[in-house]
Amino acid sequence: MEIRKIHDKEFKLFIPNSQIRAVISAMADSMNRDLEGRDVIFMGILNGAFMFAAELIKHIAPSCQITFLKLASYAGTSSTGTVKRLIGINEDIHNKTVVILEDIVDTGITLENIIRQLRGYEPGEIRVATLLHKPDAYQKDIVLDYVGLEIPNDFVVGFGLDYKGFGRNLPDIYRVVAS
Ligand code: 5GP
């Protein structure tokens, strides 16, 4: 079994690249059926979603836009904790179909924050696509319109996802080996 060491942790192969690509291709097929005729803008959330977005967009048939957003590290606090400001919205998304592209939805706190901020730009609708989802950790009731794979509540790296800044370049996804 293939093992990778990143910093102090060991990771073992979990989802091979061929499976990831098949899952993304199937997701794109669903989107192509659903989004035909709509004014669509895909919004990839950096850094983690860059590989997912690049792979997905190759399979999207209707004319569309794609852009990338980032959550700035700090913008203040609320009763629910740190509120990160969404930066990079340069396009007019008014009345458009926004499809958020996330690498992984864990508790859903990040996603809720992103949606709250995007609503301020008055898009026509917001849909959510995530490559990975940890249902056991999910605390929100936001509908995830497109989910690539549901995974257990373990830390994963690869295909855009990092551990302490490393591992994003790995073509496969690895899960942490319990120590
Ligand atoms: P949430 O707000 O849903 O709890 O977490 C979302 C963010 O946490 C993701 O966008 C990602 O940056 C990070 N995250 C959650 N689980 C994992 C994981 O297993 N591996 C990595 N690399 N990041 C994760």
pTM of the model: 0.95
**What is residue 77's predicted lDDT score, i.e. its pLDDT?**
46
**What is residue 54's predicted lDDT score, i.e. its pLDDT?**
98
Question: Residue 177 falls within a domain, yes or no?
Answer: no
CA distance 26 to 24: 5
**What is residue 178's predicted lDDT score, i.e. its pLDDT?**
81
* Mutational pocket test of ligand 1: of 104, 149, 164, the residue with most ligand atoms within 8 Å of the beta carbon: 104
Question: Residue 10 falls within a domain, yes or no?
Answer: no
Catalytic residue among 8, 34, 106, 154: 106
For tokens 């293939």, the residue is 2
* pLDDT mean values, one per 10 residues, the chain (179 residues): 91 98 98 96 98 98 96 60 83 96 96 96 98 97 98 97 96 92
> What is the whole-number distance in angstroms between the Cα of residue 63 and the centre of ligand 1?
30
Q: Check which CATH number belongs to the domain holding 74 and give it.
A: 3.40.50.2020
> What is the whole-number distance in angstroms between the Cα of residue 110 and the centre of ligand 1?
8
**What is residue 79's predicted lDDT score, i.e. its pLDDT?**
47
CA distance 24 to 173: 14
Exposure string over 155-173, b if 16+ CB within 10 A, otherwise e: ebbbbbbbbeeebbebebb
Number of domains into which the chain is organized: 1
Ligand 1 pocket, CB under 6 A? 48, 102-111, 155-157, 161-163
- Is 106 catalytic? The answer is yes
Question: Residue 115 falls within a domain, yes or no?
Answer: yes
Domain with 54, as residue range(s), is 17-150
**What is residue 1's predicted lDDT score, i.e. its pLDDT?**
66
Ligand 1, atom 20, residue with closest C-alpha: 156
Question: Residue 128 falls within a domain, yes or no?
Answer: yes
**What is residue 74's predicted lDDT score, i.e. its pLDDT?**
59
Question: Residue 98 falls within a domain, yes or no?
Answer: yes
